[in-house]
Amino acid sequence: MEEKKEVKKPAAKATPAKAAAPKTEKPAAKPAVAKSPAKPVAAKVPAVKKEVAPKAAPAPKAPAKKVEAPKAEKPAAKKVEKTEKPKGKAPYESNGEVTVILVGGLQGCTKRQLRTVQALGLKKIGDSKLHKDNPAIRGMIHVVAHLVKIEK
């Protein structure tokens, strides 16, 4: 059986109306309290500027004497021909196309590496894509070289 609890609301407080009676008397003014004499204020003394004598210009230095060393004749150096490597070439040989295979997982990679792998068209380990071999693709491969394998 359910019992209903009666909730009593607190009665509103009645505020008595204030009588609008004008004040006729002001409280008596307090007698003036004698203030202790103020501490004497020290007069401000203007700062004295010290006169500084102008600095004399440094004496001009004498020019340094050059000592000529006897020149020893050097034997003619042999020219070594260096094999020039073409700049910007990939570390792999290709015929204009390169296959990129994703071999590493993407867990723990930076955002830049994730976006680069996505731009290469790779999603899962084992995915491969054939791309044109150009500087843009080579740069992408360089960024994620530890995650991909390149085939010619």
Structure token digits, residue 93: 């040989």
pTM of the full structure: 0.40
Give per-residue pLDDT as tens, 108-130: 999 999 999 999 999 999 999 99
CB 99 within 8 A of CB 130: yes
Closest CA relative to residue 117, chosen from 138, 96, 148:
148
Give per-residue pLDDT as tens, 35-90: 666 666 666 666 666 676 667 777 777 777 777 766 667 666 666 666 665 565 55
CB 67 within 8 A of CB 125: no
Query: Which helix or strand (DSSP H or E) is residue 115 part of?
Result: helix 111-119
Q: How many residues does the chain have?
A: 152
Superfamily of domain 97-151, CATH level 4? Ribosomal protein L30/L7 (3.30.1390.20)
CB 105 within 8 A of CB 148: no
Structure token digits, residue 70: 């006897």
